[in-house]
Amino acid sequence: MTRRINAAGLSHVKQWEGLKTRAYRDVAGILTIGYGHTSAAGAPMVTESMKITEAQAEEILSRDLRKFEERVERFVKVPLTDNQFAVLVSFDFNTGKLDKSTLLKKLNKGDYDAVPVELMKWVHAGGKKVKGLVNRRAAEAGLWAKGEFVSSNTVEAKTKAPATDVAVVGGTGAAGGGGAIGPALPEIVGVGSGQQDELSSGDWTRIAIAVIIVVLTLYGIYRKVRA
């Protein structure tokens, strides 16, 4: 039996898709209804002036999500908490690109902490950063962080960096504790640079989201170093 998205994940999808009980055309001109349902997703076919109830919209969403629940189960090879599973279903429902993503490759190698950073790379549409997608990815990253770290029996989680990669302070290797920060520096710099526009925007909502992303990333790096 296919694993289903949990209540927290379902609430997330419904919040970001938004409910429309009357058919409308999205930004691409595609007829859409309910929680982002289109004819391409399967029945029912969306027609002009079509109307549905909220209960019908939820039933359609449940059917639409099943495809992506099955995809997550098929493509992910490591154990997931319910929240982590829900995040990947939401992400794939929105992008349809889970199987082609670097996120999946890193996760299947046991690098759970890479997921929030990878999620934040999927915030562009038409070559431009979209605020709605930034907010959605940040919410997914937050939900992912609520899931406990799970290590697969078959896929070994990333281990501490070898001694040759540790940072050198005062001419000696800073081994142990937080010393293995050297290999993580590009990731730290990358996430800081990636959020520079948000941090300097003057918009407190955008700044708060950027801070959350940076904190989650640094926490993930800290756990890697301490492993």
- Provide the mean pLDDT of the chain: 79
Mean pLDDT to the nearest integer, 102-115: 98
Highest mean pLDDT among 31-35, 172-176, 178-182: 31-35
Provide the pLDDT for residue 179: 42
d(CA 19, CA 11): 12
Mind spelling out the 3-state secondary structure of 24-71? EECCCCCEEEECCEEHHHCCCCCCCCCECCHHHHHHHHHHHHHHHHHH
d(CA 75, CA 105): 10
Q: 58-83 as b/e, with b when 16 or more CB fall inside 10 Å?
A: eebbeebbeebbebbeebbebebbbb
Provide the pLDDT for residue 34: 98
- Under 8 Å between Cβ of 221 and 167: no
Percentage of the chain beyond pLDDT 90 is 59
For residue 18, the tally of other CB atoms under 10 A from its CB is 9
- Residue 92 to residues 85, 146, 186, Cα–Cα distance (Å): 11, 19, 27
pLDDT, tens only, 109-155: 999 999 999 999 999 988 899 999 999 999 999 999 985 433 333 33
Is 103 domain-assigned? Answer: no
pLDDT, tens only, 67-87: 999 999 999 999 999 999 999
Is 177 domain-assigned? Answer: yes
Confidence of residue 165 (pLDDT cuts 50, 70, 90): very low
CA torsion, ordered 26, 41, 115, 109, to nearest 10 deg: -150
Query: Lowest-pLDDT range, 85-99, 116-130, 193-207?
Result: 193-207
Provide the pLDDT for residue 180: 44
Provide the pLDDT for residue 196: 58
- What is the model's pTM? 0.66
* Structural domains of the chain, count: 1
Q: What is the DSSP letter of 214?
A: H
Whose tokens are 């996120």? That residue is 103
Annotated catalytic residue, options 17, 69, 140, 198 = 17
User: Which tokens sit at 207?
Assistant: 């700044």
**Which domain range does residue 208 map to?**
159-227
Is 4 domain-assigned? Answer: no
Provide the pLDDT for residue 30: 92
Is 2 domain-assigned? Answer: no
d(CA 225, CA 227): 6
Percentage of the chain beyond pLDDT 70 is 67
Is 27 domain-assigned? Answer: no
User: Which tokens sit at 96?
Assistant: 């349809």
Half-sphere exposure of 75 (CA within 13 A, CB side): 22
H helix and E strand count, the chain: 9, 7
d(CA 204, CA 17): 23
Q: Is 17 in the active site?
A: yes
